[in-house]
């Protein structure tokens, strides 16, 4: 196929996939037949002949397009058997591998060429293809995304967060008359958005500290990583999932500081940024052979170098003599909290494109671990500071 038509067969196939998901309530609530009726030996498979007879008996309840795809699923199994779980996944609206496989192979409408072989694409189509190869490890997922992406809604979350961070930084720069190392200004910590250990009872500070940065050097790297990594990830996985990873990294970062670096304040969005970037890099490593992005080794090295430089800057600043003793400079532990979220919750989310997270056991395991950590940190903040008789810096 020399040119990607619009609308093309692939788009039509995707539209049919969406129609398949809108099954009648009676079909979704109760499968048309129990597995033992078609699998007396309890092998987990049913014959294609019995599967066809099942479809024939239920044809009046199925949309013709749905019936065609289900028949195509039977045709795609040359061994004469169909996994019953594949059938259940289709009928119960689970977006699983079997669902996408039935659309891609069974319906036989998506282009058989790899996306990289397509010619005559306009700029937006090339951009979508580039994002697909940047973030997704499997060709079937890349084709699915390429044909279904409509840019509606756009990647609004990362863009909005970035604009707010830049706006707050410019406002503080004007009000403090300082843009480089703003954190050294004596009035910097008086801002009600900064997390400060003396004001840890003000719960909003565990989140709003992302809008305050130590200086333009701190803001610059975070903004670049948010736009170069966060926006493509949001285009593929959606605002809800990316916001979940980002916010979880932000909260984990401030809570980690309150537990491990109890006397230090926190500023900057590094917790959320490191959660996204570490999840993306871990996903690339785990799917190395499937990721087809260009110069992936070099780009991973550059990303790691940038992250290391930013982390080194944060460590240096933390132990540099404070401009307003006895309060120390902001902590670097939030970076580590973000990385921990990225390689646990973040990896699970990025690995399961178009699949429901509640169907993944690792999602529940890492979700439970994150919940336990949050509860532990909350109780730590309530009781540990007084029990340890810790000398905190005075409130700003």
Nearest to 267, CA basis, from 342, 185, 346, 367: 185
37-46, 160-169, 261-270: range with lowest mean pLDDT: 37-46
Residues in contact with 34: Cβ distance below 8 Å, sequence separation at least 6, in sequence order: none
* CA–CA distance, 312 with 149 (Å, rounded to integer): 39
Please check the confidence at residue 108 and state whether its pLDDT lies above 50.
Answer: no
Cα torsion angle, 318, 213, 366, 383, sign:
positive
Q: Is the omega angle on the peptide bond into residue 322 within 30 degrees of 0, that is, cis?
A: no
- How far, in Å, are 57, 133, 228, 247, 278 from residue 346 at the CA level? 44, 19, 17, 11, 8
pLDDT classification of 322: cutoffs 50, 70, 90: confident
* CA–CA distance, 314 with 226 (Å, rounded to integer): 18
* pLDDT (0 to 100) of residue 27: 38
* CA–CA distance, 93 with 107 (Å, rounded to integer): 17
Residue 185 falls in the annotated catalytic set: no
State the residue for tokens 């033992």: 36
19-28, 43-52, 276-285, 298-307: range with lowest mean pLDDT: 19-28
> Per residue in 136-146, pLDDT tens?
887 777 877 88
Alpha helix stretches (DSSP H) within 267-382 = 270-286, 296-319, 333-341, 347-351, 361-379
* pLDDT (0 to 100) of residue 6: 42
Question: In the predicted model, what is the mean pLDDT of residues 185-191?
Answer: 89
Question: In the predicted model, what is the mean pLDDT of residues 148-157?
Answer: 87
Q: DSSP 3-state assignment of 81?
A: strand
* pLDDT (0 to 100) of residue 21: 40
State the residue for tokens 């980002």: 246
Q: In degrees, to the nearest 5, what angle opens at C-alpha 176 toward C-alphas 172 and 177?
A: 110
Is there a contact between 381 and 258 (Cβ–Cβ < 8 Å)?
yes
Nearest to 275, CA basis, from 249, 241, 305: 249
The single residue of 218, 237, 280, 335 carrying the catalytic annotation is 335
Q: Please provide the DSSP assignment of 175-239 as one string.
A: HHT--SSGGGSTTGGGSTTSB-GGGTTSTTHHHHGGG--S-HHHHHHHHHHIIIIIHHHHHHH-H
The single residue of 96, 254, 258, 270 carrying the catalytic annotation is 270
> Per residue in 205-253, pLDDT tens?
999 999 999 999 899 999 999 999 999 999 988 899 999 999 999 999 9
* Burial of residue 259 (number of CB atoms within 10 Å: 0-12, 13-18, 19+): middle
Question: In the predicted model, what is the mean pLDDT of residues 252-277?
Answer: 95
* CA–CA distance, 252 with 272 (Å, rounded to integer): 9
Nearest to 80, CA basis, from 43, 49, 56, 44: 49
Q: Please provide the DSSP assignment of 6-59 as one string.
A: TT-HHHHHHHHHHHHHS--HHHHHS-SS-HHHH-TT--SEEEHHHHHHHHHHTG
* CA–CA distance, 215 with 281 (Å, rounded to integer): 26
pTM score: 0.73
State the residue for tokens 């178009």: 354
> Per residue in 37-61, pLDDT tens?
666 666 667 777 777 777 777 666 6
Percentage of the residues of the chain whose pLDDT score is greater than 70? 73
Residue 322 falls in the annotated catalytic set: no
* pLDDT (0 to 100) of residue 1: 41
* pLDDT (0 to 100) of residue 106: 43
β-pair type (81-83, 45-47): antiparallel
Question: In the predicted model, what is the mean pLDDT of residues 13-39?
Answer: 45
* CA–CA distance, 283 with 7 (Å, rounded to integer): 32
Cα torsion angle, 171, 174, 180, 183, sign:
negative
Nearest to 210, CA basis, from 161, 157, 279, 260: 161
């Amino acid at each position: 196929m020399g040119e990607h038509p619009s609308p093309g067969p692939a788009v039509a196939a995707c539209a049919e996939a969406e129609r398949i998901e809108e099954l009648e309530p009676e079909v979704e609530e109760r499968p048309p037949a129990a597995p033992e009726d078609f699998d007396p030996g309890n092998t987990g498979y049913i014959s294609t002949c019995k599967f066809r007879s099942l479809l024939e008996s239920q044809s009046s309840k199925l949309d013709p397009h749905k019936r065609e795809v289900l028949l195509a699923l039977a045709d795609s199994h040359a061994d004469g058997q169909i996994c019953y779980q594949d059938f259940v996944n289709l009928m119960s609206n689970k977006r699983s591998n079997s669902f996408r496989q039935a659309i891609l192979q069974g319906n036989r409408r998506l282009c058989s060429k790899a996306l990289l072989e397509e010619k005559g694409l306009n700029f937006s189509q090339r951009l979508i293809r580039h994002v697909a190869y940047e973030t997704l490890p499997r060709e079937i997922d890349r084709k699915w995304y390429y044909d279904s992406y409509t840019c509606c809604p756009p990647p609004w979350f990362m863009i909005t967060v970035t604009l707010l961070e830049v706006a707050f930084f410019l406002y503080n720069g004007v009000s403090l008359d300082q843009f480089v190392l703003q954190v050294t200004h004596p009035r910097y910590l008086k801002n009600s958005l900064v997390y400060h250990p003396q004001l840890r009872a003000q719960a909003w500070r565990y989140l709003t500290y992302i809008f305050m940065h130590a200086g333009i050097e701190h803001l610059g790297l975070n903004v670049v990583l948010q736009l170069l990594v966060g926006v493509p990830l949001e285009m593929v996985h959606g605002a809800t999932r990316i916001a979940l990873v980002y916010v979880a990294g932000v909260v984990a970062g401030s809570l980690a500081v309150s537990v491990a670096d109890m006397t230090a304040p926190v500023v900057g969005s590094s917790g959320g940024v490191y959660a996204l970037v570490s999840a993306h890099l871990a996903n690339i490593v785990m799917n190395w052979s499937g990721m087809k992005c260009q110069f992936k080794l070099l780009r991973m090295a550059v990303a790691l170098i940038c992250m290391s430089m930013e982390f080194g800057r944060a460590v240096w600043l933390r132990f540099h003599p404070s401009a307003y003793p006895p309060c120390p400079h902001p902590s670097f532990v939030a970076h580590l909290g973000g990385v921990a979220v990225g390689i646990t919750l973040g990896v699970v989310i990025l690995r399961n494109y178009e699949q429901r997270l509640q169907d993944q056991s690792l999602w529940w395991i890492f979700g439970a671990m994150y919940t336990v950590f949050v509860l532990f940190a909350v109780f730590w903040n309530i009781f540990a500071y007084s029990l340890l008789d810790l000398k905190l810096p005075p409130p700003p």
